[in-house]
Homo-oligomer: A and B are copies of this chain.
Amino acid sequence: MQLLASVKSATNPVLARPAATPQAGHSLLLTESARSLGGPPSLLAALTDREREIVLRHGRRKVLYRGKTLFNQGAKHDGIYLIETGRIRVFYTAPSGREITLAYWHPGNFVGGPEVFGSGVHQWSGVATSNSNIVQLPGKDLRALVVEVPSLAIGLIEGLTFKGKCYSALAQMLGTRSITERLAHLLLHLAQLYGVADADGVVIGAAFTHADLAHMVGATRQWVTISLKRMQEKGIVASRRSQIVILRPDLLQEMRGLGD
């Protein structure tokens, strides 16, 4: 697993990613390890340069600064957004105000939807968690392009398949695991994605607030704080000024329950 830039790279130059080249990206989710899902496919990876150019000609480019909203839950949408650089957090807000983060998407993936062709209503919101470059592909163009460029259809199908896997895996976690188990799982996953070896253990090299974590596991901030504190008491993790260090991955593994 490769080290990605911190969410807060802007404020933490040590972790800043060097002039990012679009890479078929990761996706950060509260789910089974990437192993069982396979890596996320890149929408345009299978296209020839020429086909890619045809497709991108229909796109509208956007630059999005950290914290800015790409699309809003409830708004009418049109087509999809392809991420070229940066990172997009996709989340749902319940009427009660509670939020659940569906995923953090990285370059090569597309977000928006849930539909790709039709123009329905966004079922969730997307905001940039780091400065991002986005290409919007309108639904109508996309539908025409699919017939013209079959590889694009394959790319879309694979992308949608992957999203289906992600969301169902999320539902599986949420439906069958306790919050504590989910948190243990998430920490291991974060260590895998952003982990940096250290004298004591593995430092999670990305600054997530307790609230961020809470949104990912579907809990309250307080509960995350309490759980982390308990883990700290047991010597499983250590907190150093808002950084989390995993000391005993074996115990975390145990906490998250059996399987995979």
Interface string of A132-171 (1 = CB under 8 A from B): 0000000000010011001001101110110111011111
Q: Which residues of B contact A176 (CB under 8 A)?
A: 92-94, 96, 98-100, 218
Whether, in the assembled complex, A95 has its beta carbon less than 8 Å from a beta carbon of chain B, the answer is yes
Bound Cα distance A42, B156 (Å): 18
Whether, in the assembled complex, A259 has its beta carbon less than 8 Å from a beta carbon of chain B, the answer is yes
CB pair A175–B114 under 8 Å, yes or no, is no
Whether, in the assembled complex, A123 has its beta carbon less than 8 Å from a beta carbon of chain B, the answer is yes
Q: Which residues of B contact A161 (CB under 8 A)?
A: 113-116, 160
* Minimal Cβ-Cβ distance residue in B for A95: B259
Rounded to whole Å, the gap between the CB of A28 and the closest CB of chain B is 15
Most buried by B among A150, A156, A157, A259: A157
Bound Cα distance A115, B37 (Å): 10
Bound Cα distance A172, B258 (Å): 25
Bound Cα distance A259, B94 (Å): 8
Q: Which residues of B contact A150 (CB under 8 A)?
A: 146-147, 150, 153
Whether, in the assembled complex, A201 has its beta carbon less than 8 Å from a beta carbon of chain B, the answer is no
Rounded to whole Å, the gap between the CB of A78 and the closest CB of chain B is 14
Whether, in the assembled complex, A102 has its beta carbon less than 8 Å from a beta carbon of chain B, the answer is yes
| One of B123, B218, B260 near A165 (C-beta < 8 A) | B123
Q: Which residues of B contact A93 (CB under 8 A)?
A: 176
CB pair B36–A96 under 8 Å, yes or no, is no
Whether, in the assembled complex, A38 has its beta carbon less than 8 Å from a beta carbon of chain B, the answer is yes
* Minimal Cβ-Cβ distance residue in B for A101: B175
Q: Which residues of B contact A113 (CB under 8 A)?
A: 161, 164
Rounded to whole Å, the gap between the CB of A159 and the closest CB of chain B is 9
Whether, in the assembled complex, A117 has its beta carbon less than 8 Å from a beta carbon of chain B, the answer is yes
Q: Which residues of B contact A165 (CB under 8 A)?
A: 114-115, 123
Q: Which residues of B contact A172 (CB under 8 A)?
A: 92, 94, 100, 102, 123-124
Whether, in the assembled complex, A230 has its beta carbon less than 8 Å from a beta carbon of chain B, the answer is no
Bound Cα distance A168, B158 (Å): 17
Bound Cα distance A147, B114 (Å): 24
Q: Which residues of B contact A169 (CB under 8 A)?
A: 123
Bound Cα distance A167, B171 (Å): 7
Whether, in the assembled complex, A174 has its beta carbon less than 8 Å from a beta carbon of chain B, the answer is yes
Q: Which residues of B contact A196 (CB under 8 A)?
A: none
